């Protein structure tokens, strides 16, 4: 009787447009409401993208970035979509290159592993960080963080990131105030910014650079000078992606997956095919719609029952998720949407799986999660 009363209380607390699904460790369904209705999953979709990446690449996979010298002593960068090429990494790359050569003419970025200017559904053209463009060569998630000093000069807000001419020009042209922004939606311009950072670090180390930064391709006769393997394994990268709900990282991984399975260049359709095929072939999800990898688009569609299958497969990796007490979860938020999916650990340590899909800007998903956890404890 107590369990029936708790179920009634939980189900009555959400509207007819919302959904709730809770399954015990043995798969028994404790609570369900609208469990078969299709919803936009928001950022809970990142769980599926992460699973597909682990399946095809393996937890220990590391992204690579290659550096070549051509016969004219131009330094060429061949990118493969590493989403974690932050300033500290570019500085370490500069150190490795500085130990291998004394200088170069031009710096040429080869972005051909991704098709140019991929448009991710749900990503707009604003200067907000979540609208950052994807690309084969990136820096700092294709964003810039800056502030103004007492004299009103634009300076970097990160000690590890120098201000570059391109960043400064775009900040001024856009009339931005201090903060973190996306300065371009052109992947080629974003690669130029990464090149400027590398050149700055190389010059600080005494490496000669007299040329320009431009686009090109690696030729068969070019000499491989250095291969940077990410200091982060895929598993470590996924933890960061999930912790910060980083849309840029999720779609970089989606695109890299497409190229890994179906060959370069990476395209959105190849990435979607890989994740959708994994969902169908491995998880048995035959009726879902995936249009990108982060959940930023409301055109993605799956049901709470579909998400339950994702949670079943993701359970061995639940340590990658946010934990509050005995609740481990991934949240998702879009305009008027509140989503949460994860695990509630009970007394015996075996997790129950839960999916909450709420609609409306004032939906209190935190309170419902607490209520749900208490009911399962009881």
CATH code for position 173: 3.50.80.20
pLDDT in tens, 38-72: 999 999 999 999 999 999 999 999 999 999 999 99
Q: Is the pTM of this model over 0.85?
A: yes
- Can you read off the two tokens belonging to residue 309? 């299958």
**Among 231, 261, 288, where does a domain finish?**
231
> Contact at 8 Å (CB) between 78 and 225?
no
Are 304 and 357 within one domain? yes
Q: Does the pLDDT at position 26 exceed 70?
A: yes
3-state secondary structure of 369: helix
- Average pLDDT (86-109) is 97
How many structural domains is the chain composed of?
A: 2
Q: How does DSSP assign 105-167, residue by residue?
A: S-EEEE-TTB-TTPPPTT--SSSSGGGPPP-SS-SGGG-EEEEE-TT--EEESSTTS---HHH
Query: How far is the C-alpha of 258 from the C-alpha of 16, rounded, in Å?
Result: 38
pLDDT in tens, 214-256: 999 999 999 999 999 999 999 999 999 999 999 999 999 999 9
**Among 179, 206, 231, where does a domain finish?**
231
pLDDT of residue 7: 54
Are 115 and 198 within one domain? yes
Q: Which domain holds residue 248?
A: 2-59+236-377
Across the beta sheet with 75-79, the strand order is 213-215, 107-110, 75-79, 64-69, 223-229
pLDDT in tens, 314-327: 999 999 999 999 99
Are 246 and 117 within one domain? no
Are 280 and 160 within one domain? no
pLDDT in tens, 336-374: 999 999 999 987 778 999 999 999 877 899 999 999 998
């Amino acid at each position: 009787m107590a369990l029936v009363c708790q179920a009634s209380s939980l189900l009555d607390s959400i509207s007819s447009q919302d959904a709730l699904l809770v399954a015990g460790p043995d798969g028994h369904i404790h609570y369900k409401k609208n469990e078969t209705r299709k919803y936009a999953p928001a950022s809970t979709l990142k769980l599926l993208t992460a699973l597909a990446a682990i399946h095809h690449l393996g937890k220990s996979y590391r992204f690579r970035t290659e550096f070549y010298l051509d016969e004219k002593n131009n330094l060429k960068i061949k990118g493969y979509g590493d989403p974690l090429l932050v300033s500290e990494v570019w500085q370490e790359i500069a150190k490795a290159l500085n130990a291998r050569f004394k200088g170069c003419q031009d710096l040429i970025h080869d972005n051909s592993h991704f098709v140019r200017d991929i448009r991710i559904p749900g990503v707009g053209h604003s200067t907000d960080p979540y609208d950052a463009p994807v690309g084969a060569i990136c820096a700092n998630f294709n964003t810039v963080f800056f502030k103004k000093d007492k004299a009103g000069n634009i300076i970097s807000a990160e000690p590890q990131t120098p201000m570059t001419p391109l960043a400064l020009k775009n900040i001024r042209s856009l009339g931005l105030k201090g903060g973190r922004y996306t300065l371009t939606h052109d992947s080629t311009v974003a690669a130029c910014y990464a090149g400027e950072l590398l050149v700055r670090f190389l010059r600080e180390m005494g490496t000669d650079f007299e040329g320009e930064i431009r686009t090109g391709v690696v030729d068969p006769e070019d000499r491989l000078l250095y291969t940077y393997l990410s200091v982060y394994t895929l598993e470590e990268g996924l933890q960061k992606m999930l912790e910060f709900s980083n849309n840029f990282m999720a779609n970089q991984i989606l695109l890299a997956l497409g190229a890994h399975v179906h060959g370069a260049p990476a395209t959105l359709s190849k990435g979607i095919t890989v994740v959708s095929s994994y969902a169908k072939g491995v998880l048995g999800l035959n009726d879902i719609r995936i249009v990108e990898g982060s959940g930023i688009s409301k055109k993605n569609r799956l049901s709470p029952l579909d998400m339950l299958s994702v949670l079943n497969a993701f359970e061995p990796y639940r340590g990658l998720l946010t934990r509050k007490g005995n609740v481990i979860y991934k949240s998702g938020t879009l305009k008027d949407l509140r989503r949460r999916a994860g695990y509630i650990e009970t007394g015996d340590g075996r997790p129950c799986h839960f999916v909450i899909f709420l609609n409306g800007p004032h939906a209190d998903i935190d309170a419902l999660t607490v209520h749900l956890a208490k009911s399962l404890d009881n």
